[in-house]
């Protein structure tokens, strides 16, 4: 199943991001970023389903939360950065 990962600068930022999405009715789960996309080392991401990305970005813009980067899963298990 394809999904997006919104990489966040901190765990708390990821939690704020997930909370804002959940308040808007979008299922969101905080998890540790896969090593390949974690940037400067450990980070946390918010996982959302493929169909929810546009709505999620709108919600986050409305509440002033800026995703650091967004990735989509590829069929081979790797991640590709999404241009926002």
The residues that touch other proteins, with contacts defined as CB under 8 A, are 9-13, 15-16, 19, 30-32, 39-44
The nearer residue to other proteins, 29 or 51, going by C-beta atoms, is 29
The nearer residue to other proteins, 51 or 63, going by C-beta atoms, is 63
Please report how close the Cβ of residue 18 comes to other proteins at its closest, in angstroms: 9
* CA–CA separation, 28 and 10 (whole Å): 16
Please report how close the Cβ of residue 14 comes to other proteins at its closest, in angstroms: 9
Chain centre distance of CA 53: 9
Three-class DSSP category at 20: helix
Please report how close the Cβ of residue 54 comes to other proteins at its closest, in angstroms: 25
**Burial, 15: exposed, middle or buried (Cβ in 10 Å; 0-12, 13-18, 19+)?**
middle
């Amino acid at each position: 199943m394809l999904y997006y990962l919104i990489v966040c600068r901190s765990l708390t930022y990821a939690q704020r991001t997930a909370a804002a999405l959940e308040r808007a009715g979008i299922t969101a789960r905080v998890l540790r970023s896969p090593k390949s996309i974690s940037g400067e080392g450990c980070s946390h991401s918010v996982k959302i389903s493929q169909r929810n990305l546009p709505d999620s970005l709108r919600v986050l813009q409305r509440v002033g939360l800026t995703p650091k980067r967004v990735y989509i899963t590829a069929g081979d298990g790797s991640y590709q950065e999404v241009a926002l």
